[in-house]
Structures are given as C-alpha cells and as structure tokens.
Amino acid sequence: MNDLKEILRHFPEIGEVKMIDPISTGLINRTYKVYTAEKEKIRCYVLQCINKAVFHDVPGLQRNIELVTSHIRRKLEDKGEEDIDRKVLRFLKTDKGLSYYWDKTDYWRVSVFIEGSETRDELTSHSAELVGIKFGEFEAMLSDMVEPLIETIPDFHNMEFRLAQLREAVEKDAVGRLSGVRTMVDDINRDAEDMCFAERYYREGKLLKRVCHCDTKLNNMLFDRSGNVLCIIDLDTVMPSFVFSDFGDFLRSAANTASEDEPDLSKITFRQEIFKAFAKGYFSKAKSFLTPIEIGLLPFSVALFPYMQAVRFLTDYLNGDVYYRIDYVEHNLVRSRAQYKLYEEVRKIMPQLKSYIDSLC
C-alpha cells in the first residue's frame, strides 16, 4: 500500500490533509478524494494513481493533458467566460515543477476538486441536448490545436485491432474459458467486417483523425446542481481518433436503459429520445467542422461502440481479467453480454437513427 500522505507532500499547494477517501467509479485508474483544511477552509483535491500497465507513456500522457487543458483554458478566457476553474481541470505541480509524481513504483497526479459538481447516472432529454452542445464545443475548441498529441493507447478505438486482440485471446484460451463463450465469439465474428467501416474509410483516405476525448461515458462529465455540464473529465485518452468515437461512446452509456454491466438483458434497450436530443445539441456546434462522410457515419458509430466494448470485455474475460477492474468472477462476461445486447438493440433501429440525422442536415 502506498503512503498517500507522503505522496501528497510532493504537491506543495496542498495544505494539511484531513481525510482521504477512495472513489471507485473508474475501471482503470485508482482515484481518491483528498480533504484539506487551511485556516478553517476546506478544500478538496482529486488524487489519482495512473495505471501504468494500461498507459505506457505517462509523461507523454500528462503532456497531452497539459496541452489540452491550457488550450481550452485560453479559449474560455477569449470567450470571456467566468468561473473558468470550474469548467476545465487544473492539475497541481510537484516540488519539481512536474504535473505528476513518480514514487519509484507508480505515477500520481492531483487536480483541484470542482466544488458543487456531481456526476449523473441518468439524463433527461433536456440535459442530453446540453451535453451534446458541450461535446460539440469541446471538439470545436480542440479542432485548431497545432501541437501534436501522442496516442496514449495506440489503436485505442481501432476496431480491426480490437478484433485481432479477441482472435488472439480465443487462440490462447489462457484460462480455459473459451468453451463457455463460443456462441458469443461466433456472433461477434459474423458482423466483424461490417463493423470495421472506419478503418476502411481511413485507409482509403476518406476519413481523418481529430483530437477527441475517447472516453465520453456519462460519468466522465461533471454537472452543476441544475443539470448543466460544467466540465469534461478523465482526459487520459484525449488523442487523435475518429470524430464519432465521442458521439457513439456517449450514447453507449447515456441512452442505455440499464447499466453497462446489467445481468438482466431484458432491461437493456436504447433510448431514442436521448439519442435525438444529444444529436441535436451536438450537431448545432459540430456541423461547422464535420465532413459529409463523418456525418453519414454518425448513426453507425452508435452501434460501433457497444459492439467494440462487447469485444473488449470478452477479450479480457478470455485473458483472465487482466485489464478491467472487476467486482466478481464473471463480471467481464456479464459486461460483454450486456453490451452485445445493446448493440443488437441499436442495429434494429438503425433506419430511424439515419433518418433523424438526415433530418438535422
């Protein structure tokens, strides 16, 4: 167990630490809320241990985050926005002037906790539209970044690569779980070629990569108490990717009637009203920079992300749960089934999704 207080001492801005509480929502990094007190005033911070098995170049990742947050900060200042510290994350510097601390075992970082912010598990159509606007703005703000960002996880949203990883896991069958999931593997393989549309367009030079968030699930954004999006968090995967990563991945979590790991498949359906509201908000900001091909592919991206996530969870299950944090033995299998069910639900309504996007153009 790391000595958290000792780690925090390397971030001089932090006052006297009163309490440290684990936060258990993310599947990758370890996160804590830190309560400090200075002259009776309580200030909170977020301490994170960055998963170095997942992110192989943490200094490069932190550099991405510094570039992105300062770019956004500048844009907000130019727009004359107030209260900017609540709208973009601010990371503390260590005594060596870095945005992360290496304790010879792990990498750590600290950001300021945004007071009065909360995460949401569910949205109304109204708040989905506001989130859409926010994401359109987020991408628009980043669309003129000139500094090159690294791919913090190479091929992160590359469907061909994710399927290759599944094939490898099937071949190895490292922990003897394959016999129980053969039908799932067959189901996934049946649509594999179809679902690699983005990589094909990219190879043909018809699709470009832009700076995207790449992890737009609902619990990666902070809301104020009246339901307005304050700030987009979890910036580890901000990197060049296909623009619809953010569109499809958001709806994967926000339009699902159940949670990502719901064991009862009958509870999983896709909320079209959330799709419509989000698409409307997103489009109002993003239409200025999206290409016709990107727009045409938006409905497919809604199917792509539950499909990709089903593949990734199943791969991890076959590999013996080496990537995602799990709470019980079959957790990754349950997650994979739930995501595949959502994928099937989306496929059924693809014509409606397409005609709605057409109507927005």
Residues near 160 by Cβ (< 8 Å), separated by ≥ 6? 196, 199
Q: How many CB atoms lie within 10 A of CB 321?
A: 18
Smallest distance from the beta carbon of 316 to ligand GN1, in angstroms?
10
The C-alpha atoms of residue 110 and residue 6 are separated, in whole angstroms, by 13
| Block residue for tokens 């804590």 | 32
From ligand GN1, Mg ion, none, interface partner of 260 (C-beta below 5 to 8 A by class): ligand GN1
State which of residues 129, 234, 261, 345 lies at the interface with Mg ion (CB under 5 A).
234
> Which residue pairs from 96-100 have beta carbons closer than 8 angstroms and sit at least 24 positions apart in sequence?
96/10, 98/62, 99/62, 99/65, 99/66, 100/50, 100/58, 100/59, 100/62
Contact of 84 with 76, CB cutoff 8 Å:
yes
Binding flag, residue 249, Mg ion (CB under 5 A): no
Binding flag, residue 260, Mg ion (CB under 5 A): no
Residue 234 or 316 having the CB closest to Mg ion: 234
Per-residue interface string for the shown chain with Mg ion, residues 193-232, x marking contact by CB under 5 A = ----------------------x-----------------
Q: How far is CA 89 from the centre of its chain?
A: 15
Phi and psi at 227, nearest 5°, equal 95, 5
Residue 28 or 181 having the CB closest to Mg ion: 28
From ligand GN1, Mg ion, none, interface partner of 54 (C-beta below 5 to 8 A by class): ligand GN1
Per-residue interface string for the shown chain with Mg ion, residues 268-287, x marking contact by CB under 5 A = --------------------
Smallest distance from the beta carbon of 26 to Mg ion, in angstroms?
6
From Mg ion, ligand GN1, none, interface partner of 27 (C-beta below 5 to 8 A by class): ligand GN1
Taking Cα atoms as reference points, which of 287, 286, 361 lies closest to residue 135?
Answer: 286
Residue 61 or 295 having the CB closest to ligand GN1: 61
Residue 141 or 239 having the CB closest to ligand GN1: 239
Residue 28 or 229 having the CB closest to ligand GN1: 28
The C-alpha atoms of residue 309 and residue 315 are separated, in whole angstroms, by 10
Query: Which residues are near ligand GN1 by CB under 6 A?
Result: 26-28, 54, 215, 217, 220, 234, 237, 260, 309
Residues near 272 by Cβ (< 8 Å), separated by ≥ 6? 255, 349, 352, 353
- Burial grade of 44 (CB within 10 A; 0-12, 13-18, 19 or more): middle
Binding flag, residue 246, Mg ion (CB under 5 A): no
Residue 14 or 304 having the CB closest to ligand GN1: 304
Residues that bind Mg ion (CB under 5 A): 215, 234
